[in-house]
Chains A and B, each alone.
Chain A
Amino acid sequence: MITCERLTKTFQSVTAIQDLSITIPDGCIFGLLGPNGAGKTTTMRMLSCLIQPTSGKAHIDSYEIGNKEDAQHIRKMIGLLPEVPGLYETLGAYKNLDFYAQLYGVPKKQREESIQTTLTNLDLWDRRDEPVGGFSKGMKQKIAIARALIHDPKYIFLDEPTASLDPMAAKVVREYILELKKKGNTILINTHNLSEAERICDSVALVKNRIVKVGNPKDLAKGLFTRTINITIKKIPSTLLKDIESFSLVSQAHVQGNQLILNVKNPEEDNPQIITWLLKQGLQIQFISEEEHSLEDVYLKLIEEAGQ
């Protein structure tokens, strides 16, 4: 389990992240979501014992971040994919992975097997000795991800893992992340990719130099927006808008083509009454749906508010 209590990091005059308090239970995929410069990478670096927190506390299992003796233990438990792959460009994929496997103390036989499996899966086994400098961005990213996992760490920190991958590759990575979760790994992901966060994260924290909101991506929208109902009507009379605005249950309404879009405070209770009223007006209703707020809407709204 990872816990942060009021974790803060200040660089000279810039506060990268302030008072971050989150708990990441074992076996879950946690997303750190936020705009550029929100402090996601900084947070991940603190949790990887690469930089010291300015204040606040964080623990990984029973080990404390910032404690020099614990750092060794923490580093062993973590696999980190940094923002930039940072491979040794003149060396081959095999050497790159082997170097890290050795540093993490993976036994020789296991090392050879797992590198071969990994590179075969990545379709790179035949090119294992080619300098990776010549590989595409996405291929490098995949090798870097493989590097983070080479010692089978319990905690996996991925800083924008799919940022340079094509949709197919991104999907493969996402599926792989979900598989890792099934195996019991705990995964922390930094991302801008909201649909990705929505699809794979059990929990997300919206950050913008401080925490904006934490929760399940599906629940984040709750209470944030008045809810919007779309009603598609075969033919909308021009007077309808005026009539419906006098309806006390509707806070706002407008017409778009043959869609009537209504903001309703409590649709579970109010919708039946509204529909009944519409039918009474002799209108032919084709479709009724609630407009879903994506994480993107939530994100944009919250981040905008946080900026103010």
Chain B
Amino acid sequence: MIRWKNAWIVMRKDLAEFKKQKFVIGSIVAMPIFLGVVLPLVMFVPMVTMVPLDRPWDINGLLEIGNLPDDATIPWTNKTIQNGSFDSTILNHTKIQNTSLTHCIIDSCILENTTIQDSTIQKSVLHDSILINVTVIRAEGASLDGRNILAISSDLRFIKTKPSEIDQVLPMMFNMILMIFIIVPATLPTIIATYSIVGEKNNRSLEPLLATPTTDGELLTGKIFSSFVPSMGATYLAFTLGVVLLDIVLIPKVGYPILPNLTWILSMLLLAPTACLMSVLACVLVSSKVSDVRAAQQLGGFVIMPVVLLMLGVLAGFIFLSPVMIFIFAGLYGALDVGLFLFAKAIFNREAILTKWS
């Protein structure tokens, strides 16, 4: 049984100590901001200014590519031509609400609470719509992941046009930025967590601490959270900053704040914390076995391997970070976390920590 209060006390003490180390705080905050904010901006700003604004970038359509059937046959062409009854100027950039549309071409529109039947939709945003026998061509926004589509008939088809170069590059870059926000929380703990036990041992504060009635589990939990909290704090800070700045840069091109989308939010809520925890645990584990801070940090560096593997998979195109994939990986990391915690607790040995110096 862990008395959470004791873990909480240990964490608060560690954080109080941490607060005094201005340089460590500085590097912990600076690293994610540099990697997750400054670097992406340096990549995006030239692109935004150089690429001509011929049409809105199709970022989400491609980001959500995993949800689109590859089958892109063209029976729609005839239908559209035959039944097109709306003037494109009327349906362009129009917001249609609570309407029933039949045999329409809908281009660059926002449709809310709308039933769409036997129609073609281009570059539009769908909200709470019912789609029956509809073909969707390069529709944009939050609609295509199915969140806001209330019902879809079996004949629904998604068609994508051939993506431009920028459309191909952007998702890659987005994935890379997202991976930075997962790698960073897995790296930061190697700075803090390795210090948490080895540091106490070296300044001899461990002995009186171990003499208190706190249990191994409580001590470990406190130590884990005192590394986890600042790591995630710095990550979320950089993430918020990054998302806001990227949106500011991209809005002129995309037309609406594209970030954070579902994938990004899920990654931050599930993947980043589990990856961070994995790293914290491994560092705590290592530092309770090693008596030198530097050795602990280096060994701790190995533990971000599962995260690095994910990144390589993503960058090489083997893994596409869809919400489902995020759940899978977060589950995997979570399971590893539980295993690591139990292992750390099992091998946490007060005597060895206190008396082994080699």
Which residues of A are interface residues toward B (Cβ below 8 A)? 11, 45, 48-52, 72, 75-76, 78, 80-82, 84-91, 95, 99-100, 102-105, 131, 144, 147-148
Contacts and interface: CB of A to CB of B under 8 A. Distances in A.
B78 interface: no
A75 B216 CA distance: 13
A86 B17 contact: no
13 contacts: A49-B211, A50-B210, A50-B350, A51-B354, A84-B207, A86-B204, A86-B206, A88-B203, A91-B16, A91-B17, A91-B20, A105-B213, A148-B208
Contact of A78 (B10, B211, B214, B351): B211
Nearest to B351: A51
Contacts of A50: 207, 210-211, 350-351, 354
A15 B211 CA distance: 23
B13 A88 contact: yes
Contacts of A84: 204, 207
Nearest to A102: B9
A86 B203 contact: yes
Interface in B3-30: 6, 9-10, 13, 16-17, 20-21
Contacts of A82: 204, 207-208, 211
Contact of A76 (B16, B20, B206, B213): B213
Given A75-B212, A91-B16, A131-B20, A103 B9 contact: yes
B73 interface: no
B211 A95 contact: no
B94 interface: no
A242 to B, nearest CB: 61
Contact of B211 (A75, A91, A99, A105): A75
A80 B205 contact: no
B11 to A, nearest CB: 11
Nearest to A74: B213
Contacts of B212: 75, 100, 103-104
Interface of B: 6, 9-10, 13, 16-17, 20-21, 203-215, 350-351, 354-355
Contacts, number: 75
Contacts of B205: 86-88
Contacts of B6: 103
B20 A90 contact: yes
Contacts of A91: 13, 16-17, 20
A69 to B, nearest CB: 11
Contacts of A102: 9
Contact of B13 (A81, A95, A148): A95
Contacts of A75: 211-213
What 10 pairs across the A-B complex have the smallest Cβ distances? A90-B20, A86-B204, A86-B205, A84-B204, A75-B213, A82-B207, A80-B211, A51-B351, A103-B212, A102-B9
A40 to B, nearest CB: 14
Nearest to A72: B213
Contacts of B203: 86, 88-89
Contacts of A45: 207, 354
A105 B214 CA distance: 10
A103 B206 contact: no
Nearest to A105: B213
B225 to A, nearest CB: 15
B288 to A, nearest CB: 15
Nearest to B349: A52
Nearest to B21: A90
A80 B16 contact: no
Contacts of B9: 99, 102-103
A80 B206 CA distance: 12
Nearest to B14: A88
Contacts of B10: 103
Given A11-B355, A88-B13, A90-B17, A103 B213 contact: yes
Of B6, B21, B205, B354, chain A has the most CB atoms within 10 Å of the CB of: B205
Nearest to A101: B9
B4 to A, nearest CB: 13
Nearest to A92: B16
A147 B354 CA distance: 19
Contacts of B206: 86
Nearest to B353: A50
A80 B208 contact: yes
Contacts of A99: 9, 13
Given A50-B350, A50-B351, A72-B215, A88 B17 contact: yes
Contacts of B214: 103
Nearest to B210: A50
A121 to B, nearest CB: 20
A80 to B, nearest CB: 4
Of A49, A85, A103, chain B has the most CB atoms within 10 Å of the CB of: A103
B211 A51 contact: no
A52 B20 CA distance: 36
Contacts of B210: 50
A76 B17 CA distance: 25
A224 B10 CA distance: 52
B24 to A, nearest CB: 11
A41 to B, nearest CB: 10
Contacts of B350: 50-51
A48 B6 CA distance: 19
A52 B16 contact: no
A100 B212 CA distance: 8
B16 A48 contact: no
B318 to A, nearest CB: 46
A124 B141 CA distance: 63
Nearest to A79: B211
Nearest to A87: B205
Contacts of B13: 88, 91, 95, 99
Given A45-B354, A82-B208, 10 more contacts: A72-B213, A76-B213, A82-B204, A86-B205, A86-B207, A86-B209, A88-B13, A91-B16, A91-B17, A144-B208
